[in-house]
């Protein structure tokens, strides 16, 4: 691992180095036509995994979009991930300029997150020769386990490390990973050449809790795929609604993503259950579509719990449970929706909220973490003070009983989503890589 003092000094210079070509840095003297590849580390999950259950969620969507847009800017991107099946191809080309490379580390089968830390060393052992022969110029790790691998690989290769945590144990409502994760995240934040975070709130919290200089952290908000997530035509909307059994008078509420306590899927079902008592005539028109599968240690239990709530005596709404689906099919869920519920107890950003808004669907979310950035209260959705089913029920009742409000917020949702795009995310990363490589004196041209 590079000495922290050295990294710190390098970072202090960051402020004075400007990207030669502003955001469009393809013409940078360092990052030219013959760029050396960037190594992305995604140890515990692959961008090829279907998000929406298990360990696959927003991180997978983020990384898949980041590398594909970095490739459009001219970068060659190698994503290194752990092999989880003996039949998995070692190398998969996913786009021009983007390869996913599976490395052996521990048994070639899916493992629980707490089992994975023991195999980081094996992963690094397989990774380092690849980096040496591949001539990579930079390591960009995603999630703390990948960060550990990147730091260890950097010790041997002297490559700079950019780290995106996606979630920090210290900022979660229900911390997981114990002391070892907290300590590892602390070391990572201090040792990486740059930490990328999604919001100003995350930046402030990490700078304060890890005692960093502001220059050590950059805020780059996630994006949304506007070519895929867009307003439906009238006929597509009718068709999408028919596919989940909804007619013109039904009120479709969607709750999309991994099912676990932290994601608050239970709060969504409870809110609709409460509305059944408060506004039975509205509730009887509701179809709540829960899209996603169990995730994490409490996922299965949560799934059973919400299935029981859904058939309870007081429930007036219909609840449909749908398995996770690819983005191609997920867009139909947003096209069927009148409202999206984002009921997480803790959410580093909330890509589902961005995707729903891009499709013109207002979002009801708790005013926590990244959701405060993703959702504009009273403009693109409604924010409630806490992740509390009572508050969600009130906001949902207000929105579902007021057609004019929904129409206004639907327009605002489209408008709010325009501030976010993966193109912008890639350009911002491009600028950061450029500055970092220039400071490191790394010849990015091979
Ligand atoms: N997702 C998906 N298919 C599904 C359910 C979810 O592709 O059936 C994707 C969704 O489109 C989003 C991601 O999973 O891009 C979830 O990201 P979010 O930030 O909302 O939650 P996280 O998983 O990071 O907690």
pLDDT of residue 11: 41
Report all structural domains of the chain as residue ranges with CATH numbers, in order of start: 2-223+422-437 (3.40.50.2000), 234-417 (3.40.50.2000)
Coil, strand or helix at 399 = helix
Sign of the CA dihedral with 332 first, then 338, 341, and 347 last: positive
pLDDT of residue 175: 64
Ligand 1 centre to CA of 340 (Å) is 13
Nearest to 165 by CA among 201, 138, 140: 140
**pLDDT per residue as tens digits for the range 278-325:** 999 999 999 999 999 999 989 999 999 999 999 998 899 899 999 999
Note the pTM of the prediction, 2 decimals: 0.92
Coil, strand or helix at 420 = coil
Coil, strand or helix at 251 = strand
pLDDT of residue 18: 31
3-state SS, one letter per residue, for 131-155? HHHHCCCEEEEECHHHHHHHHHHHH
Residues 6+ apart with CB under 8 A from 136: 36, 37, 38, 39, 78, 157, 159
Q: Looking at residues 406-432, what average pLDDT do you find?
A: 97
> What residues form DSSP beta bridges with 100?
79, 92
Ligand 1 atom with the smallest distance to the CA of 59 is 24
DSSP one-letter string for 4-53: HHHHHHHHHHHTT---TTTT-GGG-SSS-TTBPPEEEE--SS-TTSPSSB
pLDDT of residue 178: 80
**pLDDT per residue as tens digits for the range 96-148:** 999 999 999 999 999 988 899 999 999 999 999 999 999 999 999 999 999 99
Is residue 222 classed exposed, middle or buried when 0-12, 13-18 and 19+ CB atoms within 10 A define those classes? buried
Which pairing describes strands 98-103 and 91-95: parallel, antiparallel, or unpaired?
antiparallel
Give, using CA atoms, the residue closest to atom 24 of ligand 1. 58
Ligand 1 atom with the smallest distance to the CA of 324 is 8
Per-residue pLDDT for 6 more than 90? no
pLDDT of residue 366: 95
Question: How many whole angstroms separate alpha carbon 389 and alpha carbon 268?
Answer: 7
Question: How many whole angstroms separate alpha carbon 407 and alpha carbon 96?
Answer: 40
> What residues form DSSP beta bridges with 364?
341, 382
Q: 281: how many CB neighbours lie within 10 A of its CB?
A: 8
Rounded to the nearest integer, the mean pLDDT of the chain is 90
Q: Is the CB of residue 373 less than 8 Å from the CB of residue 199?
A: yes
| Largest separation between any pair of C-alpha atoms in the chain | 68
Compute the residue count for the chain.
Answer: 446
Is residue 272 classed exposed, middle or buried when 0-12, 13-18 and 19+ CB atoms within 10 A define those classes? buried
Location of structure tokens 């039904």: 250
pLDDT of residue 29: 38
Q: Is the CB of residue 169 less than 8 Å from the CB of residue 181?
A: yes
Q: Looking at residues 265-277, what average pLDDT do you find?
A: 96
Residues 6+ apart with CB under 8 A from 92: 48, 99, 100
Ligand 1 atom with the smallest distance to the CA of 62 is 15
Ligand 1 centre to CA of 218 (Å) is 23
> What residues form DSSP beta bridges with 256?
291
Question: How many whole angstroms separate alpha carbon 17 and alpha carbon 216?
Answer: 14
Which pairing describes strands 194-197 and 77-82: parallel, antiparallel, or unpaired?
unpaired
Ligand 1 centre to CA of 323 (Å) is 12
Nearest to 194 by CA among 170, 222, 213, 166: 213
Token output for 65: 């979009």
Q: Is the CB of residue 396 less than 8 Å from the CB of residue 272?
A: yes
pLDDT of residue 386: 95
Give, using CA atoms, the residue closest to atom 11 of ligand 1. 352
Q: 23: how many CB neighbours lie within 10 A of its CB?
A: 13
**pLDDT per residue as tens digits for the range 19-30:** 333 333 333 334
Residues with CB under 6 A from ligand 1: 51-52, 57-58, 61, 256-258, 291-292, 324-325, 327, 330, 349-352, 355
pLDDT of residue 174: 64
């Amino acid at each position: 691992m590079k000495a922290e003092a050295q990294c710190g000094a390098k970072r202090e210079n960051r402020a004075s180095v400007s990207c030669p070509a502003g955001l469009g840095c393809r013409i940078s003297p360092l990052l030219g036509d013959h760029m050396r590849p960037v190594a992305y580390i995604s140890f515990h999950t692959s961008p090829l995994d279907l998000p929406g259950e298990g360990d696959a969620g927003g991180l997978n969507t983020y990384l898949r979009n980041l590398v594909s847009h970095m490739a459009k800017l001219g970068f060659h991107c190698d994503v290194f991930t752990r092999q989880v099946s003996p039949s998995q191809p070692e190398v998969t080309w996913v786009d021009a300029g983007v390869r996913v490379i599976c490395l052996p580390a521990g048994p070639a089968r899916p493992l629980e997150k707490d089992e994975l830390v023991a195999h980081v060393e094996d992963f690094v052992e397989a990774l380092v020769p690849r980096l040496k022969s591949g001539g990579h110029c930079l390591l960009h790790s995603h999630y703390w386990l990948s960060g550990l691998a990147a730091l260890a690989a950097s010790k041997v290769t002297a490559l700079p490390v950019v780290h995106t945590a996606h979630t920090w144990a210290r900022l979660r409502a229900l911390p997981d990973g114990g002391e070892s994760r907290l300590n590892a995240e602390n070391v990572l934040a201090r040792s990486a050449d740059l930490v990328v975070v999604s919001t100003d709130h995350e930046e402030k919290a990490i700078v304060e809790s890890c005692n960093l200089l502001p220059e050590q952290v950059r805020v780059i908000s996630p994006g949304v795929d506007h070519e895929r997530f867009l307003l439906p035509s009238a006929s597509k909307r009718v068709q999408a609604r028919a596919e989940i059994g909804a007619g013109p008078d039904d009120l479709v509420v969607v709750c999309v993503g991994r099912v676990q306590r932290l994601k608050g899927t239970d709060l969504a079902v409870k809110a609709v259950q409460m509305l059944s008592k408060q506004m039975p005539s509205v509730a009887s028109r509701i179809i709540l579509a829960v899209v996603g599968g169990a995730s994490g240690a409490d996922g299965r239990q949560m799934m059973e719990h919400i299935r029981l709530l859904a058939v309870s005596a007081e429930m007036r709404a219909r609840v449909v449970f749908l398995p996770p689906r690819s983005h191609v099919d997920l867009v139909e869920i947003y096209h069927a929706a009148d409202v999206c519920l984002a009921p997480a107890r803790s959410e580093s950003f909330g890509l589902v909220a961005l995707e729903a808004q891009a499709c013109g669907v207002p979002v009801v979310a708790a005013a926590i973490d990244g959701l405060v950035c993703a959702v504009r209260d009273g403009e693109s959705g409604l924010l409630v003070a806490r992740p509390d089913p009572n508050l969600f029920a009130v906001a949902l009742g207000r929105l579902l009983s007021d057609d004019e409000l929904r129409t206004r917020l639907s327009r605002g949702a489209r408008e709010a989503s325009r501030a976010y795009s993966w193109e912008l995310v890639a350009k911002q990363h491009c600028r950061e890589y450029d500055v970092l490589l220039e400071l490191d004196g790394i010849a990015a041209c091979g």
